[in-house]
Amino acid sequence: MEKKTKILTFIALFISVLLVAVVAWWLGWRQPPFPEGLVQANGRFEGDHYTVSSKWPGRVVELLAREGDLIEKGQVMVKLDDAQTLAKVNQAKAALDVKKAELKAAQTALSVFKKNVPLKIDTAKAELNHTHAELASSLANEEQMFRDAERFRELLKRETVERRRSEQADLSLKVARAQHLTAQSARTQAEKKLAEARLGQNQIKAEEDNVNAMTAKVTQAEAALTEAQSILNDLVVQAPATGMITTRIVDNGEMVAAGSPLFDIVDLDKLYLKVYVPEKEIGKVRLGLPAQIYTDAFPDKAFSSTLRYIASQAEFTPKEVQTPDERVKLVYAVKLYLDNNPEHKLTPGLPADAVIRWREATPWAKPRW
């Protein structure tokens, strides 16, 4: 009887303790349900990637960046061997200097022709006009001498003048004819000089064509120098964006092919948290919804973000999801882009929890697992 009493007492005590525990849990220890209007998820930070490569093949002579480095846009990451390209640049500079000198000489010659040819033409015209006047004067004098000689011959036949006077008239006619011939020759020479002077206009055209040809050669030489200089500049590989180097594929002394990847950079200003939303809750979320992200590194700080991507097809929960009961469910990948990443505190690969608010009136709450 005493043994039965002890058993009943123990059972009663056990039930009492159990009831007390249930009541205590119900009154204060039970965690309230997660607020309606919020969806919680977890994942890891990722980011927009940039693959750094070289436009030209070459041997790495200087490596200035490694994995984990924070790098600024335009910062030099790799230098390739530039000895041959530098020689081509110097050669192109020398060729350009030669072409510029030839162009300058052609321009000087053109300037001289443009200055002298009109002067020669004007001088030849003036000389031709003068010979025209001389020729007209000599012709008039010859005609007058011819009339005088004829008149004195008639007078000599009548014996009204002395023979000496008639001979003087004949001599004056011969002199006048000689002067007229000289004037004709001078006019011919003047016409020839004017024609030669006018040929200078053709020379001006030829010199202009030469200047244009030299200008084209200078432009071609400048293009060759620009191309060589561009290749030389491209042998210094710079960061295409500000971010963190996650992968390095090259090392000092290696030969790299044109276009082969050298580094992988993640833009720290375009980080996103890739999380997985269960199939039963995917209908609640939509693009543009706000979200808050929490990390173990900064447990008291919520990082604001925006939902900008929802996968079109469901998948089985990846292994990186931290809650075991969620790993067997169908989920949708969702990307939450950080509104900002102050001081680049958050980096790729960092695990984090997120709360997505799909009902605006619902107050924010930290994720609960």
- Classify residue 276 by burial, with Cβ atoms within 10 Å: 0-12, 13-18, 19+: buried
Percent pLDDT > 70 in the chain is 86
pLDDT exceeds 60 at position 54? yes
Residue corresponding to tokens 């011959």: 153
For residue 193, the SS3 value is helix
Tokens of 100: 């510029």
Q: What is the mean pLDDT of residues 184-203?
A: 75
Helices (H), 235-330: none
Has residue 215 got a pLDDT over 80? Answer: yes
What value does the mean pLDDT of the chain take? Answer: 83
Strands 243-248, 76-80: pairing is unpaired
Other CB atoms within 10 A of residue 67 CB: 11
In this prediction, residue 26 carries a pLDDT of 47
* Nearest of 268, 227, 282 to residue 46 by alpha carbon: 268
pLDDT for 8 beyond 70:
no
215: closest CA among 313, 121, 300, 104? 104
Name the band, by pLDDT with cuts 50, 70 and 90, for residue 273: very high
pLDDT at 369 over 80: no
Q: What is the pLDDT of residue 229?
A: 94
Domains of the chain, CATH where assigned = 34-79+244-357 (2.40.30.170), 85-234 (1.10.287.620)
Query: Does the structure show a pLDDT above 60 at 354?
Result: yes
Residue 168, pLDDT above cutoff 90: no
Residue 352 — very low, low, confident or very high, per pLDDT cuts 50/70/90? very high
Model confidence pLDDT, tens digit, residues 217-249: 999 999 999 999 999 999 999 998 888 898 999
* Top-confidence residue, 100 or 142: 100
H or E element in which residue 331 lies:
strand 330-338
Single-letter amino acid, residue 13 = L
Q: What is the pLDDT of residues 62-111, one digit of tens each?
A: 999 998 898 899 999 999 999 999 999 999 999 999 999 998 988 888 78
Instruction: State if pTM tops 0.75.
Output: no
Task: Determine contact, residues 352/43, Cβ cutoff 8 Å.
Answer: yes
Percent of the chain surpassing pLDDT 90? 40
Nearest CA among 218, 205, 243, 200 for reference residue 69? 243
Confidence of residue 188 (pLDDT cuts 50, 70, 90): confident
| Higher per-residue confidence, 210 vs 29 | 210
| DSSP secondary structure string for all residues of 37-65 | TEEEEEEEEEEEEEEEE-SS-EEEEEE--
**pLDDT value at position 27?**
45
| CA–CA gap between residue 68 and residue 341 (Å, rounded) | 17
- 185-190 average pLDDT score: 81
Q: Between residues 116 and 257, which one has the greater pLDDT?
A: 257
156 against 91, higher pLDDT: 91
202-214 pLDDT, tens digit per residue, is 777 877 888 899 9
Residue 13 has pLDDT above 70, yes or no: no
**Residue 155 above 80 pLDDT?**
no
Query: Three-state SS for 311?
Result: coil
Please check whether residue 123 is in contact with residue 197, taking contact to mean a CB–CB distance below 8 angstroms. Answer: yes
